Chain A
Amino acid sequence: MVKKTKTATFVTIFVVVIFVLGLRYLHWINFIEKPVVAIVDWSLKPINNVKSFFIKREKNFTIDELNTIEDSKKENEVLKTQVQLLSEDNEELKKQLNFFVNKNFQHIGAKVLSRTVNPLGTTIVIDKGSKENIMIDNPVVVNEGILIGKIIKVEENRSVVRLINDNSSAIGATVLNIDRSIGLVEGGYGLGVRMNYIPQNEIVTPGDTVITSGLTEGLPKGLVIGKIELVDKQPHEPFQQAVITPATDLTYINFVSIIIGS
């Protein structure tokens, strides 16, 4: 008898769970979901100020000083890359650079709401969605050309961005060295970014800048990813790997731009 009751409870719970998930799939519980999401989103608005407060405490800088240093550092990175690209006798790269300088990308600014709760991934939620023509695979940049990730989920007023250090992120990239080495930039659960599949015979040195190669669908060529920090070259392996330092701090992002077209 007791066993029967337990089974009945177990079945009831699962029927209700599946039923609610089904209702959600059909958008029939929006009247509950929307207010809850609105409340949570509203309460997350000061999250970046709280984060700033913690960073300020960590480094003993005023927030203005910190912002100025960060901005100069990032501006410097972008300018350095642009100078290197300009010096190339490559019409395509020049066009790409002009594309950035002239801001020919159609882009939308968005504010970061929070991180998502997925323990397997490193993703953030932004406050713009399909209403602003954002689509899956749109690249997300900061500071005029530093790639931080791609859009992977779009809702009416929100989108989810998969950061480049996410374990599922894979981006075709080029190293700005003599060989213009091509490889795949992959993340590792938010703990680091690596560039894999770099041909063994090509010379990659720490300090080289890594940009998008344009080989990944939806990602334009020339977006800055980061710099080579360490090269892992094993003589018995066909490819070498490199650890990359992202061009921006991926744990502290306030505002982003989504490239929605060119």
Chain B
Amino acid sequence: MLRTVLKTILTIILLILFFIANLYISYVLPYPWSNINLLISFLLIFLSFWGSGSIVWLAFFAGFLSDLYSDVYFGVFSITFTITFLIIYWLYYEIFTNRSIWSLTIMSLVTFLIFHFTYSVLTVINGILPKVTLLKYYAWEISLTTIFVFIVYFILEKVFVRFKD
């Protein structure tokens, strides 16, 4: 019980750290590097290594944090993150079942597609119309974050395999 509580607290702290790092990246790094999404990377890697259903709650918390630092209506990010990772969690167990780095890469692409689709729908409902020029921004975010997730997963996989050996 205590172990679970400690693990949960540690995960939340880690998520907050990734959120802060994400803010640093988006402010400090020049375009297009500022588009790397560390928060989604963290959630994807968490899901890939532990495959736990708690990813949905973590995603909700990540969305809640994002809402605190966003100018759109409160709740847009919370709902977007929750829906995205609810679907991704289902896809992880039903479609991307071979647990390889390649399936993670495809999963990362699908995550962003669902994320941006849900986000766009919610913002349109709130009266903000996205423009076509935004696709350039999305393209950078999707490609750079997917590459980032690929590299991090590759490194972590090697490290974990070494530990197992």
Contacts of B29 in A (CB 8 A): 54
Is B75 a contact of A21 with CB atoms below 8 Å?
Answer: yes
Whether B79 lies near A17 (C-beta < 8 A) is yes
Measured between beta carbons, the chain B residues less than 8 angstroms from A44 are: 20, 23-24
A47 / chain B contacts, CB cutoff of 8 Å: 23-24, 27-28
Whether, in the assembled complex, B16 has its beta carbon less than 8 Å from a beta carbon of chain A, the answer is yes
Asked if B160 is an interface residue, CB under 8 A from chain A, the answer is: no
Contact indicator B119/A119 (Cβ below 8 Å):
yes
In A33-59, the 8 Å CB interface with B consists of 33, 36-37, 39-40, 43-44, 47, 50-51, 54, 58
| Interface residues on chain A, number (Cβ under 8 Å) | 42
**Interchain CB contact (< 8 A) of B134 among A33, A162, A189:** A189
- Residues of B contacting A21 in the complex (Cβ-Cβ under 8 angstroms): 74-75, 78
Q: Given the known A-B contacts A10-B86, A47-B24, are A117 and B137 also in contact in the complex, defined by CB atoms under 8 Å?
A: no
- Contact-size category for B: 35 or more
Using CB atoms, name the residue of chain A closest to B13: A39
Interface contact A36-B71, CB-CB below 8 Å: no
A residues near B (Cβ < 8 Å) are: 10, 13-14, 16-17, 20-21, 24-25, 33, 36-37, 39-40, 43-44, 47, 50-51, 54, 58, 114-121, 123, 125, 152-153, 160, 162, 167-168, 188-191, 251
A-B contact pairs, 12 of them (CB 8 A): A17-B60, A17-B79, A36-B65, A44-B20, A44-B24, A47-B23, A114-B27, A115-B23, A116-B71, A117-B22, A119-B134, A188-B131
